[in-house]
Chains A and B, each alone.
Chain A
């Protein structure tokens, strides 16, 4: 299957960067995963979960450390288990108390990061784990891409079935409840999916920037979205464009791909802020 993709690129993209197999793989991975980020990001921003996803991303360090301690070569599973547990715990906690969530999340993040760094830095060995901080999308393998595709299908399927329930719950959870929506189930399933996607992405883009990739496209789209449809579509457009542009630019600039993608996302955010400001000024006149 992947051969077909290589042939397609060779045929259609006669550029310097497109000669390399690692770039072909990375491009496919970006095209598959960025729409997923955009979709999840729309709800993360609407539900004011930006800090929560950041904490989720950072908890990966503790997951990696526990994986290494247990002698598991690929720490993806410990990371996912860790993050899903965290997501469910936070959701339950949120229902039980009125305590300010950001403080609790802050404490939790400190604990996760410190635990991860402490365990991984024993005998001065942290350097070899920096890949988890900044990620390496150029190292993505065809089998990982297959996983990403499965995630793409799962997330879009989930969005298709649960989209309306997510919107109502996000607007007002009591209103959703009165429509017989199981709000706890909706919120929990969403955070679990979020946790899984974030953890799978850590190796690709790293702990430090995964949150930006989720949040920025939706935040940019929010500047001029007039409906849920345009909100979603523009988030996907921004996400894919900055993903591809960032990847290609990182090839020429010799920079880390994930960070370069984020720079393009920030660019989208600023441009959309300016454009929407300009448009509303014109409309007023």
Chain B
């Protein structure tokens, strides 16, 4: 976490510090066009923990994300427990995958953040006051110098930090990261993980990270769930990646070979 003063932090989160909070997803299932895409998904994330959901391509990871976001209809339920109080549908901060942006979009970083946090239409221009607020928000994620750049002109890591800044303005209980490793160089990736690590500790957020990466996430995540339509294995990274069933799911994936080599 880069150095920052208290006022900056308060803009993002007026400290809902909690002792006993977690996100629970119970028996989630998704059925599209009469095909079962997901079934029997149970996830339990304590606040301050990072849960990685890994799986091969076509395992339903994206569908799981969209179900958690409420974009596709699902069975089962999702609750957040905060200080013993149960609530349906936790507040979610979502950091999308880089790939889904239009590269020559005229939207600037300030436009994007402004559109997300303000009700005043940004196409009419951004007021001085809003600009200052956007700058402060981005500053926490060392992205304030990017304000006037086009979102399509950002590097993977820069865009990710902007999106993380936006996600945090929602004061999330659950932070959803979609393939945070994709399209980001190693330095950008470790900076991003470092930022998330700082956030989850300070603000008691549960983090669910959906990823295809197996290698290089061990130090960042607390628990790993391996899925392929349903949950196949669960545990600490060390346990899971040593599990034979998991290696079988990833058969043919060069990453699995790497893990196997390391285990041996």
Binding site for B on A (CB under 8 A): 42, 46, 48, 159-161, 163-165, 167-168, 171-175, 177-179, 183, 221-222, 225-232
For the complex, give the distance between the alpha carbons of A183 and B71 in Å.
9
For the complex, give the distance between the alpha carbons of A174 and B69 in Å.
8
Main secondary structure of the interface of A (DSSP, over half): helix
Which chain A residues border B101 with CB–CB below 8 Å?
A: 171-172
Measured CB to CB, the nearest residue on chain B to A46 is B105
* B233: min CB distance to chain A, Å: 27
15 CB contacts below 8 A, A to B, read A46-B102, A159-B123, A163-B121, A163-B122, A164-B122, A167-B112, A171-B105, A171-B112, A175-B94, A175-B116, A178-B69, A178-B93, A221-B106, A228-B123, A229-B125
CB pair A232–B65 under 8 Å, yes or no, is no
Identify which of residues 109-123 in chain B touch chain A, using a CB-to-CB cut-off of 8 Å.
110-112, 114-116, 118-123
B163 in contact (CB, < 8 A): yes
* B35: min CB distance to chain A, Å: 12
B104 in contact (CB, < 8 A): yes
Which chain B residues border A172 with CB–CB below 8 Å?
A: 96, 100-101
Other than the given A161-B121, A174-B71, 10 more pairs (CB < 8 A) read A46-B106, A164-B120, A167-B107, A167-B122, A171-B101, A175-B116, A177-B69, A227-B110, A229-B123, A230-B106
Identify which of residues 150-172 in chain B touch chain A, using a CB-to-CB cut-off of 8 Å.
150-151, 163, 166-167, 170
* B133: min CB distance to chain A, Å: 15
For the complex, give the distance between the alpha carbons of A235 and B30 in Å.
43
Given contacts A164-B115, A226-B106, contact A159 B121 (CB under 8 A): yes
B124 in contact (CB, < 8 A): yes
Measured CB to CB, the nearest residue on chain A to B125 is A229
For the complex, give the distance between the alpha carbons of A225 and B111 in Å.
12
For the complex, give the distance between the alpha carbons of A175 and B177 in Å.
11
Interface residues on B, range: 35 or more
CB pair A229–B107 under 8 Å, yes or no, is no
For the complex, give the distance between the alpha carbons of A179 and B151 in Å.
18
Measured CB to CB, the nearest residue on chain B to A161 is B121
Which chain A residues border B108 with CB–CB below 8 Å?
A: 226-228
Max count, chain B CB within 10 A of own CB: residue among A42, A165, A231: A231
Which chain B residues border A163 with CB–CB below 8 Å?
A: 115, 121-124
Given contacts A164-B119, A178-B170, A179-B116, contact A227 B92 (CB under 8 A): no
For the complex, give the distance between the alpha carbons of A48 and B105 in Å.
11
Measured CB to CB, the nearest residue on chain A to B104 is A222
For the complex, give the distance between the alpha carbons of A231 and B105 in Å.
10
* B223: min CB distance to chain A, Å: 23
Which chain A residues border B185 with CB–CB below 8 Å?
A: none
Which chain B residues border A229 with CB–CB below 8 Å?
A: 111, 122-126
* A237: min CB distance to chain B, Å: 14
For the complex, give the distance between the alpha carbons of A231 and B148 in Å.
14
For the complex, give the distance between the alpha carbons of A89 and B5 in Å.
51
Given contacts A172-B96, A226-B106, A227-B148, contact A177 B119 (CB under 8 A): no
B176 in contact (CB, < 8 A): yes
Choose from A161, A167, A174 the contact partner of B115 (Cβ within 8 Å): A167
Max count, chain B CB within 10 A of own CB: residue among A165, A175, A183: A175
Given contacts A167-B107, A171-B105, A172-B100, contact A226 B123 (CB under 8 A): no
B70 in contact (CB, < 8 A): yes
B66 in contact (CB, < 8 A): yes
Which chain A residues border B116 with CB–CB below 8 Å?
A: 164, 168, 175, 179
Given contacts A46-B102, A226-B106, A227-B110, contact A175 B119 (CB under 8 A): no
Which chain A residues border B66 with CB–CB below 8 Å?
A: 174
